[in-house]
Every structure is written in structure tokens, then in C-alpha cells.
Chains A and B, each alone.
Chain A
Amino acid sequence: MTDTDVRLQPRKKGLTRRQKRRLSRGIQYVVFVAAVIAIAVSADWGRLQNQFAQGGIAQQMWPDVITLALKNTVLFTVSGFVLGLVLGLVIALMRLSSVGPYRWVAGIYIEIFRGLPALLIFVFIAVAVPLAFPGTEIPGGTYGKGALGLGLIGAAYMAETFRAGIQAVPKGQMEAARSLGFSPARAMISIIIPQAFRIILPPLTNELIMLFKDSSLVLLLGVTLEERELSKFGRDLASTTANSTPILVAGLCYLLVTIPLGFVARRLEAKAQKEIK
């Protein structure tokens, strides 16, 4: 027997590898349970329940929290997403254009709108645009402004997603289309974009989730009672009742949508992974 053979043998003294693994795992469980107990003991449950879980106040929110607030949140999000999708595709195509100035403009747009906080963009739309262009009215009132704000932000992210998706389509696809007599634009529309769209469906879903959350910023635009979305609705009610239950309910309504969407995104991702193989 050589030296190496000896070293590969199970050790006779001290803990074996298996025992070590078990010990390390046991410690992790102990730490976790201890942390949970510490939180449970230190929290003032009565006070928390009083502040966050008052059934009466929650009931008072029903059904407006769904029929008005959630509906408006969805409305703002969807209109912003559609605008962002269209604008994002245009910017992505500009970014891939052979015309230099288009590429620069698209690049600058993406850098600006990805780099600025969404909150600032909404303030800008609410305050700066009416002041800078007196007399101009963004069509659609608050809904139009909300869609514009979310669309401008979403477009910057979606443009990069589209660009990555288009570039992920193998070069041979464009060559095959061109050799069949497709013009570059036709090939892009009929062959490349449909394939790119499949590739980017998971990241697009994530961007929808992002916009869904950012729609809370619509409250900066100054909304009427009828135009309130979840965050504004929850906050208003929280201040009139001097209780935080409405905030918790509004938060749960967000999760009601974002968690299933996240699930869909992961499913699509798994499916796309499988298709590549």
C-alpha cells in the first residue's frame, strides 16, 4: 500500500466525514429554530394584531379594494406595459440599426430611463411637463399620464430585453430568410421577432411584475377618488382609520398578483430551457 492509498481510507480517529456532515446540518437547524423563537417571543403580538389585523377595518375595505383599487392598479400596469412593449421594441430595433444616430439616441434613452428613479420620472410627468409645455394635455388624463410614466420606464428595460432576445436568435435564421428572398424588414418581422419573443417571455413577465409594483407611484400624479390604485387606497384609509390594516391588505393584494406571475415566469423559463436542449 502506498501513501495515497492510506490517505483515501476512512479515518479511524475523530469524526468521520458522514458524522461531520450531520453535525453541520444539525447546527443550521438549531440556529434557524432559535431565530424563529426569538422573534416570536420578542414581538408584541397584541399590538401587532391591533395595528395590522383589524377584521373590522379590513371588512370596511371590501369590495372597493378589489373592484376599484386593484382594478386601477391592473389598468395602470397593463396600459403602461403595452406602451412600454411597443416603445421598447422600437428602441431595441433602433439600437440594432445600421444608422449611427438611431443607435446613439436609443442608447441614451436606455441609460437615462434605467438610471433614473421611477419616482423622479413620475414627478417629472406630473410637474415638469405641464409647466414646460403649457396648454398641452397628455391624452387620457391620469390614466394616460400613468401609462406614459410606466411605459417610459418599462420601455428602457424591455428594449434591452428585446435586443438580447433578437441577438439570441442564431445568425443562420436571418441568412436562411434572406436567401429565400425575404427583405431584411420582412425577415425581422416574420422570422426573427417571433423567435426572439419566445426567448424573452420569462424576462418580460418579470418586467410586468416590476411595473405592477411601480404603478404605486401613480399617486404622485394627483389622482381622484375614483382613480386610486392599491397603494393610494391603502394609505388614505390607513390615515383616516389611524391603523395600518389597510396597508397590509393592499400589500396582500399586490402579492395576490405578483406571486402567480412570478410562478408563471419560472415555468416559462423552465420550458424555454427545455426547448433549447
Chain B
Amino acid sequence: MTSPEIRVRDLHKSFGDNHVLRGIDLEINQGEVVCVIGPSGSGKSTLLRCVNLLEEPTEGQVFVGGTELTDPDVDIDAVRRRIGMVFQQFNLFPHLSVTENLTLPQRRVLGRDKAKAAKVAAENLARVGLAEKAEAYPSSLSGGQQQRVAIARALAMGPEVMLFDEPTSALDPELVGDVLAVMRMLAREGMTMMVVTHEMTFAREVADRVVFMDGGVIVEDGSPEQVIGDPRHERTRHFLSRLLDPAMAEVEEEISDQLGGPEQ
């Protein structure tokens, strides 16, 4: 077996006194799709943001494609070019058209010429089904369209790994499907993906593995059938029952050790 595409070793992250990640070990192989689930404040978004060093880990190591990101001498900008990131709030550049959102990073960061950048942009917009919106500005697009443009923008950089931080959480329910369809297509194409999500159907269908986090640690890590279908831990069961049927939840004293880390 080849070495894993993403490797996280004994990762800790604190915000002041708030110990959000308490020793995470995780490996994701090339072409694997891993969904990270867990209650809010469990540290799953922080973990994802540590993988491309948007958050600086307090302790531990992160490797992507064999390069150690936590090495202080690493050229972080160069490594990030290989890691695509999709945010909950899309974060498109509002002062640029859709095409410019895709071409500007290619030209400024990768040094591609205008024609090449435009070609790559058009290809990727077509991939996410938004070729006709090339000249539009982000503010005129729906949330689902904006998120697909954001995915296309990340893809235009030719990443080896894609990170998704709750990509559908800010969307109206009827728009979620289009975004998930694009992600499913990427998964089928063999992209290595790490997805923080609450979409259990997507996780069950598309993920190769599901990781359940709670209280800053990985509680369970296994196939979707096992983690979602037949969870071993009480905490996982509890979380899933609340998620799948929120109306049945009862008022409780304390659900688990509430950490309340920043959930972006």
C-alpha cells in the first residue's frame, strides 16, 4: 500500500484555555473519501482547518502528500496549492466575476498565462454545470451556485486533495442536492476528499469511511455501514439519534462533556 495522502499525528489544538483537539490520529489514503461527523464544538472543523494550516496546531504533525505542513520551514503557500478548500460561507471574491474568481488565483499564484487560465476556468465551470454563469458576479448567484463556483475555483488550481468544511450547511434545503451532486462526481473521479458534514445520506452513500468526533477526539472511525448503521459507542448512537430525528430529543442535563470550541 502507498503512503497515505493525508496523515495527522497526535494533533492538539488549544484556543487559550479551550482544548479543542486532544490528540487526533488520522490517515486518509489517495482517492479515499472520508466524512467527519460530530456534534458542534466537537472540533471537526478545527481539525479540517489544521489540515491546510488555516489553524496552527498547538502540537503534533500534519502531512499532506508526504510533505510535513507543521515543519516551520515548509513553504506553506506552495503546499496549499495542492490542497483545495471549500468553506461553509463559500467565500467567493465578491469584487470579481465568476470567471475572474477562477482565473485570478491561477494567474497570481500559479503564474499561468491569461489564455491557459481562462481555458482551465471554463473547463471547471462546465464540470460544476455553471458554464453559462461565467460572466455573472457572485452576488447574483444562489447559494448553491456560489458553492459550486467555489468548488470550481478550488479545482482550477489542480489540487490533489479537497477539504470541505460543512459545504451545504449555509444552503437552503432545496439547493443542497446540486452541491452534493458535484461532490459525488468528484468522489467518483477518484479525488481524495475530507468532508466535514451533517449530511448523513451523503456520508452513507459516498464516503469510504466515516469518522465520528466528540470532545476533541475521534470516537469512532470505520465504514459508513458500521459507524452510521451500527455504531459501537454510546456517544455516536446518541448523536445519530438526535441528528436523524431531532424532534424526539429530550431535554437533558448534559449531553457529553461540552467543550464549545469555535465551529466555523
> A residues bordering B, Cβ < 8 Å?
170, 172-173, 175-183, 186, 190-191, 194-195, 198, 275
- Would A180 and B54 be within 8 Å (CB), given that A173-B93, A175-B87, A195-B95 are in contact? no
Chain B: residues with Cβ within 8 Å of the partner, total of 26
A172 to B54, CA, bound (A): 11
Mark each residue of chain B from 134 to 174: 1 if its CB lies under 8 Å from any CB of chain A, else 0. 00000100000000001001100100000000000000000
Determine if B105 is an interface residue (Cβ-Cβ < 8 Å): yes
Cβ-defined contact, A180 with B87, below 8 A = no
Q: Which of B49-92 contact A (CB under 8 A)?
A: 52, 54, 77-78, 80-81, 83-85, 87, 89, 91-92
Q: Which of B77, B80, B154 is packed against the most chain A CB atoms within 10 Å? A: B77
A177 to B87, CA, bound (A): 12
Cβ-defined contact, B91 with A182, below 8 A = no
- Would A179 and B109 be within 8 Å (CB), given that A173-B91, A191-B93, A194-B95 are in contact? no
Mark each residue of chain B from 93 to 127: 1 if its CB lies under 8 Å from any CB of chain A, else 0. 11100000000110011100000000000000000
Cβ-defined contact, B91 with A181, below 8 A = no
> What 4 additional pairs, Cβ within 8 angstroms, besides A178-B80, A179-B84, A186-B109?
A176-B85, A194-B95, A198-B95, A275-B139
A118 to B139, CA, bound (A): 42
Q: How far is the CB of A178 from chain B (nearest CB, A)?
A: 7
Q: How far is the CB of A199 from chain B (nearest CB, A)?
A: 10
Cβ-defined contact, A183 with B77, below 8 A = yes
- How many pairs of A and B residues are in contact by the CB < 8 Å rule? 60
- Would A182 and B109 be within 8 Å (CB), given that A175-B87, A176-B91, A190-B104 are in contact? yes
Instruction: From B84, B87, B108, give the contact of A186 (CB < 8 A).
Output: B108
Which residues of chain A are within 8 angstroms of B93 by Cβ–Cβ distance? 173, 176-177, 191, 195
Cβ-defined contact, B105 with A182, below 8 A = yes
Cβ-defined contact, A172 with B91, below 8 A = yes
Which residues of chain B are within 8 angstroms of A186 by Cβ–Cβ distance? 108-109
Listed by A's residue number, 22 A-B pairs whose Cβ atoms lie within 8 Å are A172-B87, A172-B89, A175-B54, A175-B87, A176-B85, A176-B93, A177-B105, A178-B80, A179-B52, A179-B80, A180-B105, A180-B153, A180-B154, A181-B77, A181-B78, A181-B105, A181-B110, A182-B105, A183-B77, A186-B109, A195-B95, A198-B95
A246 to B36, CA, bound (A): 76
Cβ-defined contact, B104 with A181, below 8 A = no
Instruction: Look across to chain B and name the residue whose beta carbon is closest to the beta carbon of A190.
Output: B108
Instruction: Look across to chain A and name the residue whose beta carbon is closest to the beta carbon of B105.
Output: A180
Q: How far is the CB of A198 from chain B (nearest CB, A)?
A: 7
- Would A181 and B89 be within 8 Å (CB), given that A190-B104, A194-B95 are in contact? no
A173 to B105, CA, bound (A): 13
Instruction: Look across to chain A and name the residue whose beta carbon is closest to the beta carbon of B81.
Output: A181
Cβ-defined contact, A179 with B85, below 8 A = yes
Q: How far is the CB of B151 from chain A (nearest CB, A)?
A: 12
Mark each residue of chain B from 243 to 263: 1 if its CB lies under 8 Å from any CB of chain A, else 0. 000000000000000000000
Which residues of chain A are within 8 angstroms of B95 by Cβ–Cβ distance? 194-195, 198
- Would A181 and B54 be within 8 Å (CB), given that A173-B93, A176-B87, A198-B95 are in contact? no
Q: Which of B185-207 contact A (CB under 8 A)?
A: none
Q: How far is the CB of A182 from chain B (nearest CB, A)?
A: 6
The 10 closest A-B pairs by CB, nearest first: A176-B91, A179-B85, A181-B81, A172-B91, A181-B109, A180-B105, A181-B80, A181-B77, A183-B77, A195-B95
Which residues of chain A are within 8 angstroms of B109 by Cβ–Cβ distance? 180-182, 186
